[in-house]
A and B are shown apart, each in its own frame.
Chain A
Amino acid sequence: MALVRTFRLPHLEDYPVQVALFKNVTNATFLRSQLLAANPDFDYAFLDATMILSPLPLLLTTSLTLQAYLSSTLRTRTPHSELVFRLHPNNNIGESYRKFGISDTTTHLIAIKLSLPPTEVTNESVSKHLAEVVEGESVPIGDEGEELGLWADVAKIRKIYKLNDGGKGRAKGKREVAVNGGARVRDEKKEMESVIMGIMVLKGT
């Protein structure tokens, strides 16, 4: 059995989200080919874990996806493709898949399965299926989901969300001194996370 964490987003408790994390995956090409063939057994969002900074942006994407699904405003074919699409800052669906989706070279994988009525998806069903099809080591995900950001490639993530040019070219550390008297060490990752979430919410507006 693969280790699967069930997230229940506040206010969306009726739509549990099953999430699994794998490292040292060796059959990404196969998994991707199943998505391309639209094999109904492979109705997942398969994400390259290096593109995920931390759990909150991922949960935000999930929440935006569920919201779009519930209000019938999906902009892609399926809820799972919508999830991948919503991770990307731009409106190009193919590009979203290339950047955030599983690629042939993916070794760290996040698999997400939404449970949307009438289909009944359980933690066990996902766990069983992923154990059969993913060749890789299952990694446990804790309550807060922090493990989802373990393999984040911060430089790549910065680039895709254009997070380099903030502050009119001034060094970030200097601004902190100017604003809050240097009393606090800035949490760069937290700041990136905030901006990424803002970009996601504002996407397409």
Chain B
Amino acid sequence: MAHSVAEPVPTIAPLSPPSPPPTDRPLHTLPAPFTTSNLQLLAQGAEALVYKTTFLTPNTPCVVKYRPPKPYRHPILDKRLTKARLLAEARVLVRAGREGVSVPRVLGADWEGGWLVLSWVGGGSVRQVLDGWAERVKRGEQKAEQALMDGEILDLMRRIGRCVGRLHDIGISHGDLTTSNIMLQSPSQESGPQPPLGGEITLIDFGLASHITPNSADEEGAVDLYVLERAFAATHPAAEPLFQEVLKAYSESWKGAKSVMKRLEDVRLRGRKRSMLG
């Protein structure tokens, strides 16, 4: 999971660990051919550094996902793991693209060097849409406009449900299906505070994705839905009916959906038990 650069890092005094290095500059030497020029750090997760830059042409914005060496791992094992993960992510992306699911394009990679270049997905995330929506609900803004907005937002929910269904139908589970990883890509490529609701639904961050087998399909599909459900719940209680719309469209979108939905109930139960245990 990525931590946004701006996110505060919790520390516990007085037994706090040494404060983390500043995150406004890369912690690691960049792999060739990248240099700090024309590179902007977007996110620094536990596993990967994500930069924005251009690739192939000056008008092709992209992200570079760099998995730096882990000093605590044996170097040979580390290289092999890094390569396997990058390859897995690239393969899933290419397959999803082949099957017509909108995902970033793979623009380059160096498996030994530890990096992957993906096309930039402009627009904004479903999380931004929901946050904006929840804000308006709280303020109880103009009723008429709200109704129109709701119609549009319900349509968006149905498209999300069908998109996730399609992904599962082609045998891929996302592995980290939060609302931040569902983007609304606008043709203008510009990021704004409010992405257009009609933008093309594009899934990002396939670092934890996997090809699912018939045996694991229900479980992995259900976990995707559960993660998404939690992300909706974290936005605002009022987002609950919106997620119901996602589920409805999902359940009608592919032949395996019904049994994934059934498994979702088990996954929810497990999730509740776990949270009760604290």
Q: Which residues of A contact B (CB under 8 A)?
A: 7, 9-12, 55-56, 59-60, 63-64, 66-67, 70-71, 144-145, 166-167, 172, 175-176, 178-181, 183-184, 186, 191, 193-195, 197-199, 201-202, 205
Residues on B facing A (Cβ under 8 Å) = 32-35, 38, 53-60, 87, 90-91, 93-94, 97-102, 105-113, 155, 158-159, 162-163, 166, 198, 200-201, 253
Given A10-B58, A166-B98; A201-B159 close (CB under 8 Å): no
CA distance A202 to B34 in the complex (A): 20
For A10, what are the chain B residues with a Cβ–Cβ distance below 8 Å? Answer: 38, 53-58, 60
* Residues in A neighbouring B155, C-beta threshold 8 A: 181
The listed residue (B34, B58, B105, B111) touching A197 by CB distance below 8 A is B105
Contact between chains at A178 and B200 (CB < 8 Å): no
Bound: A64/B163 CA distance, A: 32
Q: Is the CB of A184 within 8 A of B159?
A: no
List chain B residues, Cβ under 8 A from A176.
Answer: 100
- A166 to B55 Cα, complex, angstroms: 27
**Contact indicator B100/A59 (Cβ below 8 Å):** no
CA distance A186 to B100 in the complex (A): 9
Chief secondary structure at chain B's binding surface: mixed
Residues of B within 8 A of A67 (CB): 33, 108, 110
B158 contacts across to A, CB distance below 8 A: 181
Q: Which 5 A-B pairs have the closest CB atoms?
A: A198-B94, A194-B105, A10-B54, A59-B56, A11-B33
User: Total contacts A to B, CB within 8 angstroms?
Assistant: 112
B55 to chain A: closest residue by CB: A10
Q: Which residues of A contact B105 (CB under 8 A)?
A: 193-194, 197-198
| Interchain nearest-CB distance for B34 vs A (Å) | 6
Nearest-CB residue, chain B, relative to A170: B100
Whether the Cβ atoms of A195 and B94 lie closer than 8 Å is yes
